[in-house]
Amino acid sequence: MELNGVRVSRETQERLQHFAQLFQKWAKTINLVAPSTIDDLWRRHIADSAQIFQIHPRTDHWVDLGSGGGFPGVITAILLAEHGAGHVDLVESNQKKAAFLRVCLRECGARGTVHAVRIEEAPAAIQHCDIISARALAELEGLLDYSAPWLERNENLILLLHKGRDYERELEKARGRWEFDLVKHQSVVERDSVILELSRLRRLI
Protein backbone atom coordinates (compact mmCIF):
# COMPACT_ATOMS: atom_id res chain seq x y z
CA MET A 1 0.00 0.00 0.00
CA GLU A 2 1.14 3.54 -0.76
CA LEU A 3 0.14 6.51 1.38
CA ASN A 4 0.81 9.86 -0.30
CA GLY A 5 3.27 8.05 -2.57
CA VAL A 6 5.13 6.47 0.36
CA ARG A 7 4.96 2.69 0.64
CA VAL A 8 3.90 1.27 4.00
CA SER A 9 4.00 -2.31 5.20
CA ARG A 10 1.04 -4.67 5.08
CA GLU A 11 0.92 -4.57 8.88
CA THR A 12 0.67 -0.77 8.86
CA GLN A 13 -2.02 -0.95 6.19
CA GLU A 14 -4.01 -3.33 8.38
CA ARG A 15 -3.61 -1.04 11.38
CA LEU A 16 -4.83 1.96 9.38
CA GLN A 17 -7.77 -0.01 8.05
CA HIS A 18 -8.70 -1.12 11.56
CA PHE A 19 -8.48 2.49 12.73
CA ALA A 20 -10.82 3.52 9.89
CA GLN A 21 -13.32 0.86 11.00
CA LEU A 22 -13.17 2.06 14.60
CA PHE A 23 -13.57 5.64 13.48
CA GLN A 24 -16.66 4.86 11.42
CA LYS A 25 -18.19 3.00 14.35
CA TRP A 26 -17.52 5.68 16.97
CA ALA A 27 -18.44 8.56 14.66
CA LYS A 28 -22.04 7.33 14.72
CA THR A 29 -22.36 8.32 18.37
CA ILE A 30 -19.82 11.11 18.98
CA ASN A 31 -18.77 14.04 16.81
CA LEU A 32 -15.19 13.23 15.76
CA VAL A 33 -14.97 15.34 12.57
CA ALA A 34 -17.33 17.37 10.40
CA PRO A 35 -19.98 14.88 9.20
CA SER A 36 -19.62 16.10 5.61
CA THR A 37 -16.02 14.80 5.50
CA ILE A 38 -16.56 11.28 6.86
CA ASP A 39 -17.25 9.77 3.44
CA ASP A 40 -13.81 10.99 2.34
CA LEU A 41 -12.10 9.67 5.49
CA TRP A 42 -8.98 8.22 3.85
CA ARG A 43 -8.04 11.27 1.80
CA ARG A 44 -9.32 14.15 3.95
CA HIS A 45 -8.15 12.79 7.28
CA ILE A 46 -5.91 9.71 7.21
CA ALA A 47 -3.72 10.63 4.22
CA ASP A 48 -3.75 14.29 5.23
CA SER A 49 -2.60 13.43 8.77
CA ALA A 50 0.10 11.06 7.52
CA GLN A 51 1.85 13.96 5.81
CA ILE A 52 3.17 15.27 9.13
CA PHE A 53 5.06 12.08 9.91
CA GLN A 54 6.19 11.74 6.30
CA ILE A 55 7.77 15.20 6.49
CA HIS A 56 9.67 14.22 9.64
CA PRO A 57 9.87 10.40 9.73
CA ARG A 58 11.82 10.40 12.96
CA THR A 59 11.33 8.07 15.90
CA ASP A 60 11.07 10.94 18.35
CA HIS A 61 8.83 11.82 21.25
CA TRP A 62 5.80 13.62 19.82
CA VAL A 63 3.03 15.58 21.51
CA ASP A 64 -0.21 15.94 19.56
CA LEU A 65 -2.40 18.78 20.81
CA GLY A 66 -6.18 18.54 20.59
CA SER A 67 -6.11 15.05 19.12
CA GLY A 68 -9.91 14.85 18.72
CA GLY A 69 -10.73 12.17 16.18
CA GLY A 70 -7.14 10.93 16.08
CA PHE A 71 -5.74 13.31 13.50
CA PRO A 72 -2.83 13.42 13.25
CA GLY A 73 -1.91 11.81 16.60
CA VAL A 74 -3.21 8.26 16.11
CA ILE A 75 -1.96 8.16 12.52
CA THR A 76 1.51 9.24 13.70
CA ALA A 77 1.42 6.60 16.45
CA ILE A 78 0.52 3.90 13.91
CA LEU A 79 3.32 4.96 11.57
CA LEU A 80 5.78 4.97 14.49
CA ALA A 81 4.79 1.36 15.20
CA GLU A 82 6.21 0.40 11.83
CA HIS A 83 9.58 1.78 12.98
CA GLY A 84 9.30 0.10 16.37
CA ALA A 85 10.39 3.24 18.21
CA GLY A 86 9.15 6.69 19.17
CA HIS A 87 6.03 7.68 21.07
CA VAL A 88 3.11 10.10 20.80
CA ASP A 89 1.41 11.74 23.76
CA LEU A 90 -2.10 12.65 22.62
CA VAL A 91 -3.75 15.52 24.50
CA GLU A 92 -7.56 15.58 24.40
CA SER A 93 -9.70 17.03 27.18
CA ASN A 94 -13.02 15.63 25.90
CA GLN A 95 -13.54 12.41 27.84
CA LYS A 96 -15.54 10.62 25.13
CA LYS A 97 -12.97 11.43 22.47
CA ALA A 98 -10.18 10.42 24.86
CA ALA A 99 -11.89 7.05 25.35
CA PHE A 100 -12.06 6.62 21.57
CA LEU A 101 -8.38 7.46 21.22
CA ARG A 102 -7.39 4.93 23.90
CA VAL A 103 -9.32 2.17 22.11
CA CYS A 104 -7.66 3.07 18.81
CA LEU A 105 -4.14 3.00 20.25
CA ARG A 106 -4.73 -0.30 22.00
CA GLU A 107 -6.45 -2.13 19.17
CA CYS A 108 -4.16 -0.78 16.44
CA GLY A 109 -0.95 -1.55 18.33
CA ALA A 110 0.08 2.10 18.04
CA ARG A 111 2.83 3.79 20.04
CA GLY A 112 0.99 6.38 22.08
CA THR A 113 -0.59 7.49 25.35
CA VAL A 114 -3.74 9.56 25.84
CA HIS A 115 -3.88 12.41 28.34
CA ALA A 116 -7.45 13.52 29.06
CA VAL A 117 -6.47 16.97 30.29
CA ARG A 118 -6.65 20.55 29.09
CA ILE A 119 -3.70 21.57 26.93
CA GLU A 120 -2.57 24.07 29.57
CA GLU A 121 -2.26 21.19 32.06
CA ALA A 122 -0.42 18.82 29.73
CA PRO A 123 3.17 20.03 30.36
CA ALA A 124 2.87 18.90 33.98
CA ALA A 125 2.13 15.35 32.80
CA ILE A 126 4.43 15.31 29.77
CA GLN A 127 7.87 16.49 30.74
CA HIS A 128 9.65 16.41 27.38
CA CYS A 129 8.95 16.26 23.67
CA ASP A 130 10.84 16.73 20.43
CA ILE A 131 7.98 17.49 18.05
CA ILE A 132 4.55 19.07 18.57
CA SER A 133 1.76 18.54 16.07
CA ALA A 134 -1.73 20.00 15.79
CA ARG A 135 -4.48 19.99 13.18
CA ALA A 136 -7.55 22.25 13.06
CA LEU A 137 -7.03 23.34 16.65
CA ALA A 138 -6.17 27.04 17.08
CA GLU A 139 -4.45 29.98 15.45
CA LEU A 140 -0.67 29.89 15.23
CA GLU A 141 -0.09 32.42 18.01
CA GLY A 142 -2.14 30.32 20.41
CA LEU A 143 -0.33 27.14 19.40
CA LEU A 144 3.00 28.81 20.09
CA ASP A 145 1.81 29.83 23.55
CA TYR A 146 0.66 26.27 24.24
CA SER A 147 4.11 25.02 23.18
CA ALA A 148 6.11 27.45 25.33
CA PRO A 149 6.53 25.19 28.41
CA TRP A 150 8.07 22.42 26.30
CA LEU A 151 10.26 24.91 24.47
CA GLU A 152 11.75 25.94 27.84
CA ARG A 153 12.83 22.30 28.29
CA ASN A 154 14.00 21.69 24.71
CA GLU A 155 15.39 24.54 22.62
CA ASN A 156 15.43 22.23 19.58
CA LEU A 157 11.65 21.73 19.66
CA ILE A 158 9.96 21.48 16.25
CA LEU A 159 6.32 22.31 15.51
CA LEU A 160 4.50 20.67 12.59
CA LEU A 161 1.12 22.31 12.06
CA HIS A 162 -1.62 21.85 9.49
CA LYS A 163 -2.94 25.21 8.26
CA GLY A 164 -5.48 26.35 5.70
CA ARG A 165 -5.52 29.21 3.24
CA ASP A 166 -5.40 31.93 5.94
CA TYR A 167 -2.00 30.86 7.26
CA GLU A 168 -0.13 33.99 6.03
CA ARG A 169 -2.25 36.22 8.26
CA GLU A 170 -1.58 33.91 11.21
CA LEU A 171 2.16 34.00 10.50
CA GLU A 172 2.21 37.79 10.37
CA LYS A 173 0.37 38.03 13.67
CA ALA A 174 2.59 35.46 15.39
CA ARG A 175 5.78 37.19 14.27
CA GLY A 176 4.84 40.14 16.44
CA ARG A 177 5.60 38.03 19.51
CA TRP A 178 7.76 35.16 18.25
CA GLU A 179 10.86 34.55 16.18
CA PHE A 180 11.29 31.25 14.34
CA ASP A 181 12.67 29.50 11.29
CA LEU A 182 9.92 28.46 8.91
CA VAL A 183 9.57 25.84 6.18
CA LYS A 184 6.24 25.71 4.32
CA HIS A 185 5.28 22.30 2.96
CA GLN A 186 2.51 22.32 0.37
CA SER A 187 -0.17 19.77 1.18
CA VAL A 188 -0.32 16.88 -1.27
CA VAL A 189 -3.94 16.28 -0.27
CA GLU A 190 -5.56 19.73 -0.08
CA ARG A 191 -4.51 22.36 -2.63
CA ASP A 192 -5.20 25.32 -0.33
CA SER A 193 -3.48 23.82 2.73
CA VAL A 194 0.09 23.75 4.01
CA ILE A 195 2.04 22.18 6.82
CA LEU A 196 4.14 24.73 8.66
CA GLU A 197 7.42 23.47 10.11
CA LEU A 198 8.68 25.84 12.81
CA SER A 199 12.04 25.53 14.55
CA ARG A 200 14.55 27.70 16.44
CA LEU A 201 11.65 29.23 18.33
CA ARG A 202 12.18 32.26 20.54
CA ARG A 203 9.62 34.39 22.33
CA LEU A 204 10.14 38.11 21.73
CA ILE A 205 7.64 39.55 24.20
pLDDT tens, position by position, 167-189: 999 999 999 999 999 999 999 88
Indicate the range of 44-58, 139-153, 155-169, 175-189 predicted with least confidence. Answer: 44-58
pLDDT of 36 > 70? The answer is no
pLDDT of 42 > 90? The answer is no
Residue 69 confidence (pLDDT): 93
Residue 85 confidence (pLDDT): 93
Q: Nearest-CA neighbor of 108 among 141, 136, 82?
A: 82
Residue 37 confidence (pLDDT): 66
Q: What number is the average pLDDT over the span 16-28? A: 92
Whole-angstrom distance between the N-terminal and C-terminal Cα of the chain? Answer: 47
pTM over 0.85: yes
DSSP string, 79-112: HHHHHT--EEEEE---HHHHHHHHHHHHHHT-SE
Residue 6 confidence (pLDDT): 73
Phi-psi region of 138 (alpha: psi -120 to 50; beta: other; left: phi over 0): beta
Residue 159 confidence (pLDDT): 97
The Cβ of residue 145 has, within 10 Å, a number of other Cβ atoms equal to 17
Residue 38 confidence (pLDDT): 65
